[in-house]
Each structure stands twice: as structure tokens, then as C-alpha cells.
Structure 1
């Protein structure tokens, strides 16, 4: 197979490979690294005897992900909620599809706590329907042992507190209503999703002596928010510190975020984040549709 044909066939598989890698790793950057390493392996391999290129590439990507997960675990590192890589389009339908499967956003936390082999077995089998005998070959275990790994991982995922996912879904509805009102310049729509005593705080500003600092009240905060209505096209829903929030991403580059606190189904506190340390906890992966 010549290089041009090989490259074309690889590009046909790229969306699937990225989906597999992202589900394994929970990180766009690491997923792209795993897929790129798969291309390097493919471009230097003898594929004359490869009958199922898609399966071969899935196996290579899975092994790359397993290496990353084991390295991460050995360093006791947690995957960072991350901004999209430069040039990444947070409106990309492919990115939306990565999260529109059987494991919700809230359960990504549970997946992060699984052992690497458990996570690989669960993701490949339950989400991508890879047979256990093929997964067993990747893990260098028997099919029976691999099945047990997936079963154990599945019990841990199913045992996760379901209210977390419900909370995220409800928060997303409120955030989407806020963003829609902001983009449409709808003052009443903004006030409707804000707590009457909502507090807007600028994390980069020094609080006033003896006070909490910030702007308080639904009408005052709503009016202030409307001054940014024209720039709202650069704002996207995001997970900020584990809750629904908003990210400011002109041309796909994260420059700021709004961390939101919810009370009784409304936005009670808005914290503006612009410092790099705070932005590390912003996950631009699109949340599940409500």
C-alpha cells in the first residue's frame, strides 16, 4: 500500500481513533498524541498482512492510551480539565459526539478512578463494542480475566451517585438559558435565571476592605452582563471546577471563564476567572446534551 493511500485510509479512521483515545484519557491533547503515535507506527509498519486496518489501528491507539494511563497513575497525576488545543473548534460536531455516548460527563470522574486496565476494558467493550478476546490481547490477559475487569469497572461506574449527573444536566439548562439570553440581548431572560441576590465577583480584583466585593443583585448583574452581549458569540458552556460554567474562547483559545454557583435552580454566584492557574480547571469538552 503506497503512502498516499495509507494516509487516506488513516484519515478515514481518525474520528473513530480520537473518540477511542479521548474516552480512554479524558484529555484532548493526550488523545491527539495517542492518535499521532498510531500514525507513526502505521507509516513505518508492514501492513501487507493487515486485513482489518480499523481494528489494527484501534489496537495500536488502545496500547498507546494504556501507556499514558499507567504513566499518569505511576506519577499519581490526575488528568487536568483542559482547554482545547490551539485551533481546536469547540463547536466541532465530532467533539460533541465524543461525549454523546453511554457514559455521561459526570461519570468521567469515576472513570478517572479506575485502574488503567479496568478503564480500557470497559471503554473498548461497552462503548466501542470491541470483543473481549481482542481486548485481552492488548492487556496480555485471558478473555475471562478481561471480562471480569470490565464487569468490576461497570459496577463501580453504575454505583456512582446518580444525582451528580442530574445536577449537571439541570445546571446545563440554566447555563444555556443564560447564554441564549445574553446572545439575544434579553434582559428579562437573564434576570429570570439569576438568583435575586446573585453576586458577581472578579477574581482578579482586590476585594473592598471590610466587604465581599463585587456586584450584587439580579438586575444589576443582568445589566452588566448585557454590556458583553456582542462578545457572547465567543462564550461556550464548559465544566469549571466540576460544575457547569462558561468559557470565553475567541478563535478556540481559552482566555477566561465564569465559575457558577447554583442555588434553587438559579445562578447565585458568578466568579470571573482569568488567571492561568484557575483556567487549568476549565474543561472545554462539550457537556452532554440535555
Structure 2
């Protein structure tokens, strides 16, 4: 007989990127399009989780969820994560009896469809969308018979930066170029500054397909905006020109960017020693997030 997991013993994603990956998988691959969510104080979380568990089958294991789907019942997941001193939570549901898409559900009136324009899931700077991404394919050239790489567009669920965030980055690129702030990249010890620091920070974001495409496009725009200013910057820093030659005042080329930009791969969502919801129900559970 399977052990029943108490609601407050449900695991918590090990970090923000793992959380985003789990939400993407649930909404996309596993078709949990219907959701509701919000932010709650940590001390209120335990009672709230118990209430959700009394309304929805959030503690079911995979075998039990498979059985529910065969019977036409909704499969649901509850996820919570501590960030910025608050606990963010989401209840996600597949279609079916007793789920968020069921008109008789206690929360049907506040449920949203992640596919709709006004129902996207957001977290921090990011929004989860069914969007177009560029995919690399290797095919054999019909004329030469040699393998070649082509780009094609494919639609899938992915995280993108919110429109406001992209506008802010573009405005910062413009300001850096206007004031000829070439800057420097950051590292684990110190933050970057100027245009190079801004582009470096953008590359440090979780590179889901949508974010990766935006990062590449923002870098391309930065190259175009900086090109007229590079000559002026070089004239002001002859010592650096003598030291670095043609690289002085240069940004990464598009080829170099693609070589250094990390590709996002599947990561472990619930690692050994992961917190559980009970841990988030105390103030100390918010430290370090």
C-alpha cells in the first residue's frame, strides 16, 4: 500500500530555475493549463495548504493520478516557493471533474487559462507563454550531400522576459551607448557595470528558449547601437587600444555570443534535502531564497 504524503510534506523546488522548469513542464507537456495562484504570508501557509488539500487531490502519486485521468477526474498539483520575503503559490489543474476547469470547483471563478492572453503565469521578471522559438536542425544538403545546419521556427511553451523588463533593458542599452559607458563584465565577486555589465547580466538569466532568443536579440541591438560609439571610446583610451588592439572597446560578436551563451538543459527540481511546504510555513524557511 502506498504511503499517503501529508500536504505539508510536499516538496519545494530547490531553486528559482527549478521552479520555472517545473511550471513549464506541468503547463506544457503535462497539460495543466488551468491555474490559480498568488502570494501569501508564511505563517498563513500551513492552514492554506490544508484547505487546498481538502478541495483538490494535490497529494496523489503518479499511479493514482494516472488512474484519475482514466476516470475523467482532474489531476492537480500545488507548488509553493519562497522569494522576496513572501511565499508564492500556484495550483495547477488538468481538465476533468473536480479540477479548476470544472464549474462546480470552489475556485472555478478565479481560475485562469495559461494559454489565454490575460492568463499567463508570471514569476519575477518572466512570463510563461506558448511562443515561437528558433530551433537548430542538422540536415544533409541535397546538392553536396554534406550535413548542414538550418534554422526553423517551432512553437512551444517557454519562459520569456516580461515586456516591461525587455523595454527597461533596451532603455539601459541606449543610455550606456549615449554616455559611452563601455564598462566591464561582472563575476562571482563583483557586479558588472556599463554596457558590458548589462549584457553580461542578461546572459546570467535562466536561458529557457524564449529568454535565450531575447538575449541574442538584445545583444544584436547593442552591437548596432554601440558601433558608432566605439571609435569615440577608443580615441579616449589610447592606452587600452595599445594593450588590446582591435578588441579594445569591442563587444562579443554574434558568433562569440552563441559560443558562450549557455543552453538550458533539464535540471533536478527536487534534490536531496529539498525543503517541504512545512519548512516554508515558518519565517526561517524564507532565508536564503
Richer in helix (by share): 1
- Provide TM-score, normalisation by structure 1: 0.29
- Provide TM-score, normalisation by structure 2: 0.29
Instruction: Compare relative contact order (CA 8 Å, sep 6+) and give the higher one, 1 or 2.
Output: 2
Structure (1 or 2) with the larger CA radius of gyration: 2
